[in-house]
Amino acid sequence: MVHTLSWKGYTIQPIWAILFCEMITDILYRCPLCGGFDWLEDSRCAHCSAEIDILSRSEVSMNGQRNTLAYWYERVLAFDLPDAADGVIMKSAKVKLSTEAIKGIYKGFSGVIATQYTRTFADDGSLSLLENALIFRGNMKTFSIDFSKVLGITIESNTIILISRDHGALFFDFLEESGKKWEDCIRKALLRHFSGSKIVEFYPRLRTEKDLRDTPSSLKGHKHLHVPVRRWYRDDYSHIFAIARSLAKPVIKAAFRVDIAGLDNIPGHGSAVLLANHTSFLDSIILGVFPARNIWFMAKNSEYRNPLLTWALKHARAFPVRRYTIDVQALRNAIRIVEQGHILGIFPEGERTWDSTMLPFRYGTIRLVLALGRPVIPVGIAGAYELMPRWTSSIKRVPVRIRIGRPLNLDHIPVPRQTRQDIERAKGIISDQISVLSGGIT
């Protein structure tokens, strides 16, 4: 049991020690020096006695060696999976299993329409990781998920989302341990299972190098993306959001010490795609307040389970996306928004960073950008990770720096004509621009 924790040389009271340990061990779930699990006890490793000192939300010292959280997390990832005992690599503590159910239909401005989903409790139990499968043993049922049937895996908060051919979308909420630990370990097991085909992406669909084309397809469809536009509201302008934004702008700028430049690089009219690195829950809020034009951001569909938040997101011009699967409705809404001359906002990493480093961009996002053929507005965000990293719910007042770059004009390449080289080239151009604008610091 943890009693104290070193924080900038001070000993914290027991309750705070427990809180900081719970937060930091969500990402440093193994000792970065010896690789032991369940390792942090009294600010030391229970296995190798290494001492940890949390210097800030992005800096940690181990045995006096000061480095970034990203460095120590990279050390954690470098360790192999534990040896299997009786065929079982790992067994979880208590897990809550939920499944997906349709809740209704969501209708937003500019004809946005999507199916609303909710999660329904299915069972309590535990999860076991084997060489080639996962086994869930619950109070009401037991079933296995063969790795050959896995279509994708990602994480949201402390919940692993796994898509299976046999079971559909499964949500495993880890109640007593790090969900990130399980995501990383399941991914390592999948890499072993598919060792003959290099995995390049784990979600929204598990994708291998064999899935990427080296030569254009001969198909002639989808040259210009188009979807029909319907109107659900007489007026697509939200007076409520306009007033809220004008009131929130000075408050956010003062409260979070926001320094934003390059707003004039956002075109005054016409469609475009704004792409930014994703470091904090507050990124879309800050970017939604300061530009003169509305930015239509994709927001994960779980945010729409609350009626009040759904109402606020609608007026803020957000629309839902099931980011753990290929969401055709979200793609159609993205096309619909751009076709009407609006600015589409996407975080191409697909999720917030865990350790402040920029994640690889989603192939699907880059393919959509190339297929749309609209100007790309790169945005770099720095400082927001310290503001509110993914592994904590607390907000710290720190300077946030946002730089909006000049629009990039990439080649318009219809989906069938896109090759691996086209996608990698576009990814490189956009990520390089965002990295420069963020100063390489998130």
Residue ending a domain, among 29, 59, 78, is 78
Range 221-228 average pLDDT: 78
Categorize the per-residue pLDDT at 50 as very low, low, confident or very high, splitting at 50, 70 and 90.
very high
CA–CA distance, 113 with 329 (Å, rounded to integer): 8
CA–CA distance, 283 with 149 (Å, rounded to integer): 35
How many domains does the structure of the chain reveal?
Answer: 3
Return the closest-CA partner of residue 280 out of 409, 377, 394. 394
Range 220-243 average pLDDT: 79
Of the ranges 27-31, 34-38, 150-154, 283-287, which one carries the lowest mean pLDDT score?
283-287
Let me know: does 216 contact 423? Beta carbons within 8 Å. Answer: no
One domain for residues 345 and 371: yes
Range 160-183 average pLDDT: 97
Assess if residue 178 is contained within a domain.
yes
Categorize the per-residue pLDDT at 176 as very low, low, confident or very high, splitting at 50, 70 and 90.
very high
pLDDT, residue 347, reads 97
Residue 120: in which H helix or E strand, if any? Answer: strand 113-130
One domain for residues 204 and 310: no
Assess if residue 222 is contained within a domain.
no
Assess if residue 234 is contained within a domain.
no
Residue ending a domain, among 15, 46, 78, is 78
Backbone angles phi, psi at 36, to 5 degrees: -70, 145
One domain for residues 346 and 207: no
Residue-wise pLDDT for 56-70, tens only, equals: 888 999 999 999 999
The enclosing domain of 389 has a CATH number of 3.40.1130.10
Per-residue burial over 88-102, b if 16 or more Cβ lie within 10 Å, else e, is: ebbebeebbbbebee
Categorize the per-residue pLDDT at 12 as very low, low, confident or very high, splitting at 50, 70 and 90.
very low
Enumerate residues 6+ apart whose C-beta is below 8 A from 302: 119, 156
Question: Residue 338 carries which side chain, given as an amino acid letter?
Answer: V
Range 123-150 average pLDDT: 97
One domain for residues 144 and 263: no
One domain for residues 73 and 130: no
CA–CA distance, 81 with 271 (Å, rounded to integer): 47
1 pLDDT more than 70? no
Assess if residue 179 is contained within a domain.
yes
pLDDT, residue 22, reads 55
Residue ending a domain, among 163, 192, 211, is 211
pLDDT, residue 388, reads 83
Assess if residue 21 is contained within a domain.
yes
CA–CA distance, 156 with 397 (Å, rounded to integer): 24
One domain for residues 102 and 73: no
Per-residue burial over 319-328, b if 16 or more Cβ lie within 10 Å, else e, is: bbbbbbbebe
One domain for residues 267 and 317: yes
Categorize the per-residue pLDDT at 169 as very low, low, confident or very high, splitting at 50, 70 and 90.
very high
Assess if residue 220 is contained within a domain.
no
One domain for residues 287 and 376: yes
One domain for residues 61 and 109: no
Neighbours of 240 (CB within 10 A): 11
Residue-wise pLDDT for 328-382, tens only, equals: 999 999 999 999 999 999 999 999 999 999 999 999 999 999 999 999 999 999 9
pLDDT, residue 189, reads 97
Of the ranges 44-53, 62-71, 180-189, 220-229, which one carries the lowest mean pLDDT score?
220-229
The enclosing domain of 100 has a CATH number of 2.30.29.30
- Domain extent at residue 148: 88-211
Assess if residue 218 is contained within a domain.
no
CA 55 vs. chain centroid, Å, equals 25
Assess if residue 231 is contained within a domain.
no
One domain for residues 23 and 95: no
Residue-wise pLDDT for 186-224, tens only, equals: 999 999 999 888 999 999 999 999 998 989 887 766 677
pLDDT, residue 225, reads 83
One domain for residues 104 and 70: no
Let me know: does 222 contact 370? Beta carbons within 8 Å. Answer: no
One domain for residues 151 and 41: no
Residue-wise pLDDT for 59-110, tens only, equals: 999 999 999 999 999 999 999 999 998 899 999 999 999 999 999 999 999 9
Return the closest-CA partner of residue 58 out of 33, 25, 24. 24
CA 219 vs. chain centroid, Å, equals 32
Cis peptide before 204 (omega within 30 of 0): yes
Of the ranges 112-116, 193-197, 431-435, which one carries the lowest mean pLDDT score?
193-197
